[in-house]
Amino acid sequence: MDEILEILEKDGRASAEDIAKMLRKDAGEVKKAIKKYEKEGAILKYKAVINRDLIRDEDFEVRALIEVNIVPQKDLGFDKIAERIYSFPEVTSCYLISGTYDLLVVVAGKNLHTVSNFVAEKLSCLEHVRGTATHFLLKKYKEDGVILKHKSENNKRIAISY
């Protein structure tokens, strides 16, 4: 992968000037390359990794990883049903995977009930969906290569003795 893309993938806030210094290139050349990558769709979005545990508020979201078993459509494979699934606003990510299940779908909702309702009322009843397995995220330790710090817990675990 291009060095410019590698730097931006690690730090989306890196300026063209900073990247040019790191790579010993002309800043104009780096800006031109970045614009080209954006226009071609190689760079889709710049993203901040948020540690939601440190900013919990009333907008707290529940996230779930849902494994989906589907029947591929003739001449379309998995793509058409995957498109139908990732079109739901609750779906934040959708991947074709190997193994027992075919798709891994990441879903966000306000609470457990909204996520479970999504699975029961929208996802599971789709024509080509054969089955699902839902895993709720309980705690994140690392995301996109960034280790997430957690609030110190005053309620330490109680030692158990026998």
Q: What pLDDT, in 10s, does the model give residues 37-55?
A: 999 999 999 988 877 777 7
**What is the CATH number assigned to the segment(s) 54-143?**
3.30.70.920
The residues pairing with 109 across neighbouring beta strands, listed in sequence order, are: 62
CB 53 within 8 A of CB 142: no
Query: Alpha carbon of 4 to those of 23, 85, 92, 144: distances in Å?
Result: 8, 33, 26, 18
pLDDT of 95 strictly over 90: yes
Place of tokens 């960034």: 146
According to the model, what pLDDT value does residue 149 have? 83
Half-sphere exposure at residue 97, Cβ-oriented, CA atoms within 13 angstroms: 16
**What six digits make up the tokens of 23?**
């790579």
For the chain, which residues make up each domain, given as ranges?
Answer: 3-40, 54-143
pTM above 0.85, yes or no: no
Helix or strand or coil: residue 85? helix
